[in-house]
Amino acid sequence: MLCRICKSKGKRTKASIYIRHHRLALCKEHFIEWFEKQTAKTIKEFNMFSKDEKVLIAVSGGKDSLSLWYALHRLGYKTYGFHISLGIEGWEYSKKSLDICKKFSERIERPLIIFDIKDEFGYSIEEIAKGSGRKDVCSVCGTFKRYLMNKICKEQGFKVVATGHNLDDESALLLSNTIRWEIGYLGRQHPVLPEKNGFARKVKPFVFFTEKEIVSYAILNKIEYLETGCPNAKEATSILYKRSLAMLEHEMPGTKLRFYKEFLKKARPIFEKELKEHLELNECKICKMPTTASICSVCRTLERLKINVKSR
Ligand code: SF4
Ligand code: ZN
Ligand code: ZN
């Protein structure tokens, strides 16, 4: 198969990648160009951020977040990486993730902000979940990650945080929210969550790329990333939704993109109207971060942990 762009210029270059749902065959150079142009288009279309703003990129060491950091850096944005070291020991996951992020930040010569949960709180995320009596590590982990992202933004003056969520993540989330008719979540599912109530704007510039496209971008740019995911992810139900959508995609190319794009266009505005316009927020009595209660859920979890640890 020949690269479509090279062919239009009278050159016969072999394609490195074929994007089935766009029926597009491209060589290495034109795929990278296409990928970065699409990223810039999504940022512009959803008004995510400008070249004058500092963008904090949440990096885990995986292909999505590091490719995002690379693409935004190449597009000329003021990027800063942010890595939360969770202290997860399975296959030395956290140590490897941190090493990869550090190496990458050195490669592109951009700063990396690191928050080490074990150093700061004395316990890993798994110990925090266990010690506070919670079985689901991922939900505790999600709460802590969101909290720390907001905290770093507030302390270091970032108004925008970018994450590497891709089309596979977003379409699986959409399917899961739709099956359970989670009106609130459906109303909030969008490539941009605006800055509000002291929380930074959250943006997802890769929402229209599939995992495969991102892997290709990472490989073609020689981005070293962690291939093994977090050992706790095995249990995630999102894998089931991803598998179901992959089956549909195989039979009907373009299903995921259509499902997500049509939702944004036709259904989400209806669910958005159902959302409560204003949430009363207070300052957490302990950490001063915005919260709906008098003490935020992270401070409550840490307090519970101290009590449990003392009573052992
Ligand atoms: Fe955290 Fe669960 Fe993701 Fe692991 S899989 S990083 S524990 S949310
Ligand atoms: Zn080409
Ligand atoms: Zn708090």
Residue 19 lies in a domain: no
Distance, CA 300 to ligand 3 centroid (Å)? 7
Nearest atom within ligand 1 for CA of residue 139: 8
Same domain for 243 and 296?
no
Report if residue 41 sits inside a domain: no
Annotated binding site for ATP: 58-60, 64, 84, 164, 169
- Tell me: do 82 and 224 sit in the same domain: yes
**Which atom in ligand 1 lies closest to the alpha carbon of residue 60?**
6
* Buried b or exposed e, range 41-79, using 16+ CB within 10 angstroms: ebbeebebbeeeeebbbbbbbbbbbbbbbbbbbeeebeb
CB 218 within 8 A of CB 305: no
Does residue 289 share a domain with residue 197? no
Q: What pLDDT is attached to residue 205?
A: 98
Same domain, 240 and 287: no
Which residues are annotated as part of the binding site?
58-60, 64, 84, 164, 169
Domain annotation covers residue 81: yes
Do 173 and 291 fall into the same domain? no
Please give the pLDDT value at position 312: 31
In a domain, 26, yes or no: no
- Taking the CA of 234 as reference, the closest ligand is 1
Ligand 1, atom nearest to 138 Cα: 2
Residues in the chain with pLDDT values less than 70:
90-91, 234-235, 276-279, 307-312
| Inside any domain, residue 209 | yes
Instruction: Say whether both 271 and 290 belong to one domain.
Output: no
Among 230, 239, 242, which residue has the most ligand 1 atoms within 8 Å of its CB, making it the best to mutate? 230
In a mutational test of the pocket of ligand 1, which residue from 85, 97, 232, 239 has the highest number of ligand atoms less than 8 Å from its CB?
232
Structural domain count of the chain: 2
**β-sheet bridge partners, residue 17:** 26
Q: What is the pLDDT of residue 63?
A: 97
| Ligand 1: centre distance to CA 114 (Å) | 17
Clarify whether residues 202 and 251 are in a common domain.
Answer: yes
- 202 and 297 co-located in one domain: no
How much is the pLDDT for 238?
A: 85
Residues in contact with 311: Cβ distance below 8 Å, sequence separation at least 6, in sequence order: none
Q: Is residue 202 part of a domain?
A: yes
Say if residue 218 is in the same domain as residue 298.
Answer: no
pLDDT attached to residue 309: 45
* CATH code (residue 206): 3.40.50.620
Q: Based on the fold, state whether residues 101 and 154 are members of the same structural domain.
A: yes
User: Which of 91, 92, 137 gets mutated to test ligand 1 (max ligand atoms within 8 A of its CB)?
Assistant: 137
CA of 141 to the centre of ligand 1 (A): 6
CA 233 to mean position of chain CA atoms:
15
CA-closest residue to ligand 1 atom 2:
138
Indicate the pTM of the whole model.
0.93
Q: What is the pLDDT of residue 231?
A: 85
- pLDDT number for residue 168: 97
Residue 23 forms part of a structural domain: no
Using a 6 Å CB cutoff, which residues line ligand 1?
Answer: 137-138, 141-142, 230, 232-233
Domain that holds residue 285: 279-311
Asked if residue 303 and residue 196 are part of one domain, the reply reads no
> Would 37 be classed as within a structural domain?
no
**pLDDT computed for residue 273 by the predictor:** 85
CA distance 73 to 26: 23
- DSSP string for residues in 122-147: SS-HHHHHHHTT-S-HHHHHHHHHHH
pLDDT value of residue 185: 92
Rg (CA), the chain: 21
Q: Say yes or no: 190 and 114 in one domain.
A: yes
The whole-number pLDDT of residue 304 equals 85
